[in-house]
Structures are given as C-alpha cells and as structure tokens.
Structure 1
Amino acid sequence: MFFDDERSNRLRPRILTEVVGQYLNDSERARLFGLPDTTRIRERAKIIDPERLEIGEHCWIGEGAALDASGGLTIGEHTSIGVGTLVFTHSSWLANMMLDNRPGSDLIERKPVRIGKGCFIGSMVVVMPGVTIGDFVTVQPMSLVAKDVPDRCLVAGNPARIFQRYDEEFIEAEAARVRAAREEYRPVE
C-alpha cells in the first residue's frame, strides 16, 4: 500500500505530523511543529519544509494558512498570518512550461520571503516568492503581495499597493482609541 522510495519516506512523517496536529490545541500544535511556545497555529494550517521556517515569539497562524518555507521563510515576532493565507517561496512555472514539472526539477525556482515583526497579514492574502514585507505592516484581506513592502504601512489590492503610512504617533493614538472604546463595553462588576 505504501511506496518505499526516498520521497515517500521523507514526506510520510510530515503527513503524520499534520494528521496528529488536527487533534491538538493551538499551543500543542505549535510545539509538535517545533515552533516557539508562544506561537499559536490553528487547525489545517500547513508548513512546507518547516526546518526552513524561522518564526519569532507570539505569532499566530490562522486556519488553512499554507506557509511554503522551501525557499526560506522568516516571520518576525508578534506577527499574525490570516485564515487561508498563502505564502509561496517557490515557483514551478518554468518547469511546467518546459514539461519538466517533477519532484527535484532544476527548473523549480526558490526565493526566500521575509515578513517583519508586528505585522498583520489579513485573511486570504497571497505572498509571492522573494518578497520582503517590512516591520509593522498591515496587509488587507484578499491582497496579492508581489513586490517588497516598506515598514509601517497599510497595503491592499491585487497587486497590493500602499494606502497609508504609519508613524509612532498614529499608532499610539489608535491604541488609545481602541482602549477607550473597550472601556465602554467592559462589563460592570
């Protein structure tokens, strides 16, 4: 029933880890995948080549996200990756065009992706190979990030473009606004 070849034997432990991971809570799943103890990884999230993933503390990875680390993937601390988001670090387009789309093809191109610290990557975002997303960036849901994004900005669209830049004063004002609104809804004790 099972193939006894190098590729199958290499992939099988990863598949079993994903299956077992479905029965764990977020923190247990993070530990199973070798992620920091403060990381929370939701159900059905997939990490391709987790040994090439560098992830900071206090990160959150949403349900159904697919993180391709085969070309190298770095995610900074306090970053959230939204539900159903796809991060690619490889492309097989040329292997397809040359009718050589097979495991190990020398036409599969790999480029590292870096996502900075303090980022919020919304749901259903696609990040293409070779992209660097700076620190403190918000990527709105359903955006396609195909080019580098500088620090402290909000991007959206297909392709994603900058809609707003953040400075420290803006962030502090927003934090005060959210905290004040939260106080209004706090239950009376």
Structure 2
Amino acid sequence: MERRVSEKPLYQDLSRFSIAEDFRGRSGLIVLAWQIVQATAFGLSPQPFYLWRRWLLRLFGAKVGKGAIIRPTARVTYPWKVELGEHCWIGDNTALYSLGEIKIGDHAVISQRCYICTGSHDIANITFPLTATPIVIEAEAWVATDCFVYPGVTIGRGAIIAARSTVLSDIPSGVIAAGCPATVRKERPLPHKGLPAESYS
C-alpha cells in the first residue's frame, strides 16, 4: 500500500496555530468555568428564568440591561465581551460568537438561529491566527431568523434584516435589508402607536 507523503503547508499551517495569551480577555480557567455554567445552570434552566440567566451573564462580566430576554439555548462565547441593552431579545439557538465585542442596543431583536460572528482568521499569515472585530446592533433593530452577521458590521437603529440574510457590510438606520449579501430594499415604515406593525419574518 502506497504511503501518502505530506506536503509542506502552502496556505495555512495549523500545527503552528496558537491563541495569544490575552486574546480571550480572561484566564483559561474562567473560560472553562463559563462553558460548564452555560451547559448546565444556564442552558438547562427553564425558559421563564430570564432573571436567572441575566444574573449568570452579569456574574461572568456581561453588561445586561433590565428586561433583556435571553433564551436558554442561546450561546455566548465570552460574556465579558457582550453588552445587551434593555428589553432586547436573544432568540433560541442564537450564537453570540464574542471573540470580539458585541453590543446590542435597547429593544433590539436577534431572532432564532442567528449567528453574530466577531471572529475570523488572518489568511495572510500562514499560522492562521484568530482575529476579532466588534459588531454593533443598534437600538430597535431586528435581525430576523437564521441570519449571519459578519465581523465589524454595524446595523443601524431600527433596521430590519430579513430572514436568512448574510450581512457583510454596515446597514443604515431605518431600512429593510435582505439577501446574500444583504442589501437595502426599502425604508422601514414607522408603525402607528397602538396598531400592529407589519411582520417581516
């Protein structure tokens, strides 16, 4: 049987990959403690225990506003790099991949199965090191079901990202964007007080 001869890596050499000592923002022990808490006390908590989950996130350094709704199946990589505004919603199976900072404003909605991704890799470096760029989702924005938000993106106040969109660049305030990559389709109407707003999910 012919034995395969390994070629010298040309684009990325993962045998040389390492994570910078200060990249996580906390010690490996704290990271491990959070992973255990997230899998147990957080992830197994009953759905109505929003106060409990807010407390756990704050315990690990997150800034969480009053009335924030975080589902037990939501996943947060590093809570100490996350800021959640008042009365914002973080839906089921949403991932806040907070290698870099994630800031979500008051009354903003991140719907189920969204992936908010601050992390990537430096493809110009053969050791393939991690990179992190902050994401800002401003107040009253709505990122609908199953969207991907790219590192460094800002989504403006009141903007709506339609379901299953991929957001690769900044989205201005007060618009509806959709697609892969997401582009602005039209202005978001201001709903009349006391009347139901049009649904976009």
TM norm structure 1: 0.78
Moved runs in structure 1, 4+ residues, more than 4 A? none
Letter in 1 for 2:140: G
- Structure 2 residue 191 is the aligned partner of structure 1 residue 172: yes
1:62 to 91, 101, 106: 91
Q: Which sections of structure 2, spanning at least 5 residues, go unmatched? A: 1-25, 59-63
> How far apart in 1 are the matches of 2:168 and 2:96?
16
Letter in 1 for 2:190: I
Q: Match of 1:33, SS?
A: helix
Structure 1 residue aligned with 2:15: none
2:51 to 23, 27, 31: 27
**Where in structure 2 are the equivalents of 1:58-137 lying within 5 Å?**
58-92=87-121, 94=123, 98=126, 100-101=127-128, 107-137=129-159
The range that moved more, 149-158 or 65-74, is 65-74
Residues 68-117 of structure 1 deviation map (CA, whole Å, 9 limit, x = unaligned): 2221111110011111100111102628x72x35xxxxx32211111000
Sequence identity (%) = 25
Q: How many residues align?
A: 163
- Structure 2 residue 169 is the aligned partner of structure 1 residue 140: no
RMSD: 2.1
Q: Match of 1:94, SS?
A: coil
- Structure 2 residue 76 is the aligned partner of structure 1 residue 47: yes
Q: Match of 1:43, SS?
A: coil
Residues 145-188 of structure 1 deviation map (CA, whole Å, 9 limit, x = unaligned): 0010000000111110111113xxx3134x55528xxxxxxxxx
Structure having the larger proportion of residues in helix = 1
Q: Match of 1:12, SS?
A: helix
Mapped contact 2:31–2:78 kept (Cα < 8 A): no
Mapped contact 2:89–2:110 kept (Cα < 8 A): yes
TM norm structure 2: 0.74
Quote the offset at 1:11 in angstroms. Answer: 2.3
